[in-house]
Amino acid sequence: KAGVTQTPRYLIKTRGQQVTLSCSPISGHRSVSWYQQTPGQGLQFLFEYFSETQRNKGNFPGRFSGRQFSNSRSEMNVSTLELGDSALYLCASSQTGKARETQYFGPGTRLLVL
């Protein structure tokens, strides 16, 4: 089975721009979660989608948004980019989103905001 895929792998943007990142989960997985990794804050939860609905949201400003499509693929969008948004953005998928279920991560998208 193919793993979680994320595109693009690298992005360079300037302050004020917006960006859209894409994630394709493992086949059959319906829950998709997004995380941000920075040197200062570590790995932090952004949001989780299941069956096209956002079920959980982390403590991030409204500039961070996402959506999930009927085929479980997910996108996240960051508007009005700030320098502090430079990070590795990771997508993870699991089958149903149940609590005692392992999440499998993609390779990440590295975003650099100049």
Partner 1 sequence: DQQVKQNSPSLSVQEGRISILNCDYTNSMFDYFLWYKKYPAEGPTFLISISSIKDKNEDGRFTVFLNKSAKHLSLHIVPSQPGDSAVYFCAAKSQGAQKLVFGQGTRLTINP
Q: Is 90 in the site for partner 1 (CB under 8 A)?
A: yes
Beta strands 53-57 and 42-50 are antiparallel
Residue pair 89/108 in contact by the 8 Å Cβ criterion:
yes
Residue closer to partner 1, measured from CB, 35 or 64: 35
Buried b (16+ CB within 10 A) or exposed e, 53-79: eeeeeeebeeebbbebeeebebbbebe
Q: Is 92 in the site for partner 1 (CB under 8 A)?
A: yes
Site for partner 1 in 28-87 (CB under 8 A): 31, 33, 35, 42-45, 48, 50, 55-56, 58
Residue closer to partner 1, measured from CB, 43 or 83: 43
Cα R_g (the chain), whole angstroms: 13
Closest CA to 40 of 102, 76, 73, 83: 83
Residue closer to partner 1, measured from CB, 10 or 70: 10
Residue closer to partner 1, measured from CB, 16 or 85: 85
Chain residues in the site for partner 1 (CB under 8 A): 4, 6, 31, 33, 35, 42-45, 48, 50, 55-56, 58, 88, 90, 92, 94, 97, 99-108, 110
